[in-house]
Chain A
Amino acid sequence: MICTEDLTFEIGKFRLNAVSIEMLRNEYFVLLGPPGSGKSIFLECLCGLRKVASGRILFDGADITYDEPRKRNIGYVPQDYALFPHLTVQQNIAFGLRAVGNSSKLAAFRANETAEMLGIGHLLERSVLGLSGGEKQRTALARALVMEPRVLLLDEPVSALDEATRQSICSMLRRVQKDLKLTVMHVSHNLEEAFSVADRAAILNNGRVEQTGSLDELLRKCRNEFVARFMRCENIFTGAVAESLPDSDACTVRISKINLAVPGRREGTVQFIIRPEDVLIEVADGNNGGENRFEVSISRWRDFGSHVRVELKGSLDLVAHVSHAVFRKIMAAQTAKLAAILPRENIHVLE
């Protein structure tokens, strides 16, 4: 559908470094990254507001790298919506239609239609200055959608909204994307937001794509430590390979005072992760045997509502996310002696 090939752009000391991303048709793609990683600049390059230094932007195979923004038919909703303050909601939505030569009657009709679809039909005559954050967001979205864009680019569309509005706008975005069969790129630094809308995502760091894939892949098959940390994996370990395990595609890695079995035959030093939710905890029964099983005790815990975050101290310090049922069971045992189990299949070795 739309892809970039080695897109490079420089501004001051910042550089988008050979960014290659492909968005599939009708896909909801989220571009993740910390502030300052170049997400917004990348969007502006895509819609033609910044001239790239090298690389290509292809749309269904056609090179649009140097096309003017108005010729790309790419919808763009900037971070703070950029609504025109001297125009009403209706005039804002109809602006693009008028700009490309539609009659004012047709532009008004289609603006009304789009506004109704997004639930802001009652605001059409209002000035945009008095709108709430959610209403502004819907107006900016309507203004982009009314042009029937081939691709819609959303720059941090919900970052300025409160939690409840954020969730409702995310649901609306996903619904609109499905209904209109749109291809959407949504820029965000917020993981929860990505989980609520994304089909696939990419992680940008300092102008470079670290990894692209489904969110599950980004969570469990991180390519490197940056991706692991961005995806909030707290259990990142580094150790030296002790030996290969006979009769299996695995090896043991010496960390602290214990050997852990990790998948794959490797040599030298390896870095690996295990997601906190994949760590198992059980009451120690005196039997300390078993693969990747070792004694731990709880040093701190905190209830997050959906799960309990437990910090464990022992041969290896680590973090586990457990359900309330498991946590209650552990606490009911009234013993400080617990065992942590790191299932080998849930361990992922970083590149």
Chain B
Amino acid sequence: MSAAKQRQIGWFNLVLALLGSCVILFVVAPLVSIVLSTSGSDMKAAAVDREVLDSIRLTLAAAFFATVTSALVGVPFAYLLARKDFWGRSVLLAVIDLPIIIPHSAAGIALLTVIGRQSLIGRLFGRGLTGTTAGIAIAMAFVSIPFLINAARDAFGSVDTKLEKAARTLGATPRRVFFTISLPLARRGILSGLVLMWARGISEFGAVVIVAYHPMTTPVMIFQRFNDRGLGAATSVAVLLILICVAIFIMLRVFLRPKAGREF
């Protein structure tokens, strides 16, 4: 390779690296800045504030509940979408992505018509699910389930159908093929989808604040403190939530990292 060509490639790589640095800076700068702008004493105060701790606990639990229940129905549905070609499949794929494009406050209003006091469910049970942990979990699930289903569908799609066919000729029922071949091999993709969904659920504000202002999830509490007490009061809660989320995210990334010598 000529020296001129090598120099050209060197410049190109440099441009790519500079553009990448801009993206990383854009993501990291606000996070680093908010952490640095919070004093230790404020953080300590937030960490022992019962209201804050309760809201963090509620947020994590509601997002977890939303993710697990969505997985029970969403993962088999993703398998169906990955493996079967049926009439209306492309319409279903578009429907699944709807919660991503709908403004989340509008999604919250839409949910009120289904689980609110005046909805059919509300009338049947004498009260709606607004202002309940279940309502929060439903709002979180609504806006974040596309992340799980799309990730799981891609994960199942990447499992070679020959493996499933081979298992069927060895006497396995379709159910056994699903649980012993497809699911274990799609495991990493599905777990990534679960983590994404859970993280998206934790950060949800728009839909949750309309379905349940109380009990207060942490994003709602940050908004409330910002309005009532100003930036300083909101910042320490926000930093606490960010640190907890980043810690959990790092732990999951380590847990999900492929082991050496294993490709799946």
The contact of A99 among B171, B185, B261, B262, by CB within 8 Å, is B171
Cross-chain contact A70 with B162 (CB below 8 angstroms): no
State the CA gap A72–B172 with chains docked (Å).
Answer: 12
Question: When the two chains form their complex, are residues B261 and A127 in contact, meaning their CB atoms are under 8 A apart?
Answer: yes
Question: Are the C-beta atoms of B184 and A70 separated by less than 8 Å?
Answer: no
**Contacts A49-B165, A78-B162 given: A129-B261 contact, CB under 8 Å?**
yes
What chain A residues lie within 8 Å of B163 (beta carbons)? 82, 84-85
A-contacting residues, B39-94, CB 8 Å: none
Interface size class on chain A is 20 to 34
Which B residues are CB-close (under 8 A) to A68?
168
> B109 an interface residue at 8 Å Cβ cutoff?
no
Interface residues of B in 145-173 (CB under 8 A from A): 160, 162-163, 165-173
User: Do A78 and B167 form a contact, CB below 8 Å, given A86-B185, A129-B261, A129-B262?
Assistant: no
A47 at interface by CB-CB < 8 Å? yes
Contacts of B264 in A (CB 8 A): 85-86
Q: Write the A203-238 contact mask toward B (1 if CB under 8 angstroms, else 0).
A: 000000000000000000000000000000000000
Could you tell me if A49 and B168 are in contact, using CB atoms closer than 8 angstroms?
A: yes
User: In the complex, A76→B180 CA distance in Å?
Assistant: 19
- Contact size class for B? 20 to 34
- Smallest CB separation, B85 vs chain A (Å): 13
CB distance from B202 to the nearest CB of A (A): 30
> Is A284 in contact with chain B by the CB < 8 A criterion?
no
Q: Which residues of A contact B166 (CB under 8 A)?
A: 76, 78, 82, 84
CB-CB under 8 A from B253, the residues of chain A are none
| Residues of chain A with a CB closer than 8 A to B245's CB | none
CB under 8 Å from chain A, chain B span 106-164: 160, 162-163
- A256 to chain B: closest CB distance in Å? 52
Cβ-defined contact, A95 with B162, below 8 A: no
Kindly list chain B residues whose C-beta atoms are within 8 Å of the C-beta of A47: 169
Besides A70-B171, A82-B162, A99-B170, 14 other CB < 8 A contacts? A47-B169, A48-B168, A49-B165, A70-B173, A84-B166, A84-B181, A85-B163, A85-B185, A99-B167, A99-B172, A99-B180, A100-B171, A127-B261, A147-B171
Supply 26 A–B pairs (Cβ within 8 Å), ascending by A: A44-B165, A47-B169, A49-B165, A49-B168, A70-B172, A70-B173, A72-B169, A80-B162, A82-B165, A84-B163, A84-B167, A85-B263, A85-B264, A86-B185, A95-B170, A99-B167, A99-B170, A99-B171, A99-B172, A127-B261, A129-B263, A130-B261, A143-B170, A144-B170, A147-B170, A147-B171
